[in-house]
Structure 1
Amino acid sequence: MSQQTRLREDICRIAKSLFDRGLTCGSSGNISARLDDGTLLVTPTGSSMGFLDPARISHLDATGRLLSGDAPTKEIPLHAAFYETRATTGAVVHLHSTHSVAWSMMPEVEANDVLPLLTPYAVMKLGKVQLLPFFLPGDPQMGEAVRGLAGKRSAVLLANHGPVVAGKDIWAATYAIEELEETAKLALLTRGVPINMLSKTDRAALYAKFGAPD
């Protein structure tokens, strides 16, 4: 099986899993993955993540020109910014997952470190997550905001919109965005309740033992 065939199938399998578990709904959310030749496979615009056809996945060249398949998601500039600024990026996943969107609207959220230190797994898979301001869907300025981070963050949370996570491959990006959603859920469940969080020393120790996220 070729790399492209495998990735097409993986995108559809992962997208359906995310959809079936309610992490994305309707025609929201998008996934991209980079092939060894530098071209991208991207979920099509207006498509439901629960009903993707591997043969209709958009195939783009390195400049964003459509090579085959349906027209790609309008969020291509957002995905492209991660590939351009983080050399280790092999895939990008963007969702409109409920708890992450809700957490992005909370007034106490710190823009440069969105997630509270609740579990070691969020630290290990995500590091610090940046909150970006609200943009109209498809606005190229989302990509410019990611470029402004100069590759220092693998994950961002778009205010009133949803999370975007880059990973070394499609599985790593998926696992990380699932962790982001679960941490946002925990943050909402414990909001206003006295709890014992991890410390910044704990975060440093996790980085020292497991390494910072790619």
Structure 2
Amino acid sequence: MSQPAPTAQDAVRAEIARVGASLFQRGLVHSTAGNISVRLTGEQGGGFLITPTDACLGFLNPAQLAWVGEDGTALGGERASKTLTLHRRIYAAAPAAHCVLHTHSTHLVALTLQGVWRHDDILPPLTPYQLMKVGHVPLVPYRVPGDASVADDVAALIAKAHRPLRAVMLERLGPTVWHDSPASAMALLEELEETARLWLLNHRSPEPLSASQIVELQARFNTLW
């Protein structure tokens, strides 16, 4: 018997599994920590796909991803991650976002344990690609995992940002980033984690980029900073 033809949503499911496996294999997620969601177009069925609660991102079954409607109603798959409310609020507040990714990346969590640079920017402006690819990353105060009030905190930060915000850091939990695709969100997360690693490896001592260097990057590359 022939197999049914793949659908547009099937391709998204496969990409979520690919990104999850890549993050897991490189140690950017571990155990059952972290979650990924994608905003679906009408052609893909609409609503959102999100990893199931307590799923390991390294071993996702594309067919078991939770499919929910715009209002959060379950449409198929397993039970959605407890962070669904946060993901939906980010999509509502950031129309350009098509993927939201949350991890417990080691160096970024370690940074919040040691103390971030500033609450409105967890890291100083250290590298050109940090400014070009990531931008400002504010700290969200600690709350119990899955606490719906985190969604209010993040939506408020997106609304008041002077430049488009693409990431926040949840204290003691990890970064949440969003972008136009799973691959782009993963690249953003990698850049953010690497910058935190550099900052900690250098004992939090490097001088930030100067004001003139930042202005030059903004003029040449229209950076997010």
Please indicate the TM-score interval, normalised by the length of the shorter structure. over 0.9
Asked if 1:84 is matched to 2:95, the reply is no
Distance (Å, rounded) in 2 between the aligned partners of 1:57 and 1:192 = 40
Distance (Å, rounded) in 2 between the aligned partners of 1:122 and 1:201 = 16
**Conserved in 1, the CA contact under 8 Å of 2:90 and 2:155?**
yes
* Cα displacement (A) at 1:192: 4.5
Distance (Å, rounded) in 1 between the aligned partners of 2:66 and 2:204 = 44
SS at the partner of 2:57? Answer: coil
* Cα displacement (A) at 1:107: 2.8
Give the aligned partner of residue 183 of structure 1: 195
Give the aligned partner of residue 33 of structure 1: 38
* Cα displacement (A) at 1:206: 1.9
Distance (Å, rounded) in 2 between the aligned partners of 1:65 and 1:166 = 22
* Cα displacement (A) at 1:63: 0.5
What are the residue-to-residue correspondences of 1:91-102 with 2, within 5 Å? 91-102=99-110
Give the aligned partner of residue 127 of structure 2: 119
* Cα displacement (A) at 1:108: 4.9
SS at the partner of 1:149? Answer: helix
**Conserved in 2, the CA contact under 8 Å of 1:92 and 1:166?**
yes
**Conserved in 1, the CA contact under 8 Å of 2:67 and 2:75?**
yes
* Cα displacement (A) at 1:90: 0.6
Distance (Å, rounded) in 1 between the aligned partners of 2:72 and 2:174 = 23
RMSD value, Cα: 1.6
Distance (Å, rounded) in 2 between the aligned partners of 1:156 and 1:85 = 13
Q: 1:122 to 1:2 in 2, by over 3 A?
A: farther
Give the aligned partner of residue 24 of structure 1: 29
- How many residue pairs align between the two structures? 213
Distance (Å, rounded) in 2 between the aligned partners of 1:97 and 1:199 = 28
**Larger mean Cα displacement after TM superposition, 202-211 or 7-16:** 202-211
Gaps of 5+ in 1: none
Distance (Å, rounded) in 1 between the aligned partners of 2:95 and 2:145 = 25
Distance (Å, rounded) in 2 between the aligned partners of 1:27 and 1:144 = 25
What are the residue-to-residue correspondences of 1:48-67 with 2, within 5 Å? 48-67=56-75
- Amino acid paired to 1:116: P
Give the aligned partner of residue 166 of structure 1: 178
Residue by residue over 1:138-176, the C-alpha shift from the partner in whole angstroms, topping out at 9 and shown as x without a partner, is 000110101111443210001111000010111111100
Give the aligned partner of residue 3 of structure 2: none
Larger radius of gyration: 2
Residue by residue over 1:107-137, the C-alpha shift from the partner in whole angstroms, topping out at 9 and shown as x without a partner, is 3520111112121111111110011100100
* Cα displacement (A) at 1:196: 4.2
Give the aligned partner of residue 143 of structure 1: 151
SS at the partner of 1:100? Answer: helix
Give the aligned partner of residue 10 of structure 1: 15
* Cα displacement (A) at 1:203: 2.6
- Amino acid paired to 2:147: D
What are the residue-to-residue correspondences of 1:193-212 with 2, within 5 Å? 193=205, 195-212=206-223
SS at the partner of 1:165? Answer: strand
TM-score w.r.t. structure 1 length? 0.94
Q: 1:88 to 1:212 in 2, by over 3 A?
A: farther
Distance (Å, rounded) in 2 between the aligned partners of 1:192 and 1:28 = 27
Structure 1 residue ranges, 4+ long, deviating more than 6 angstroms after superposition: none
Report percent identity of matched pairs. 38
Distance (Å, rounded) in 1 between the aligned partners of 2:108 and 2:187 = 15
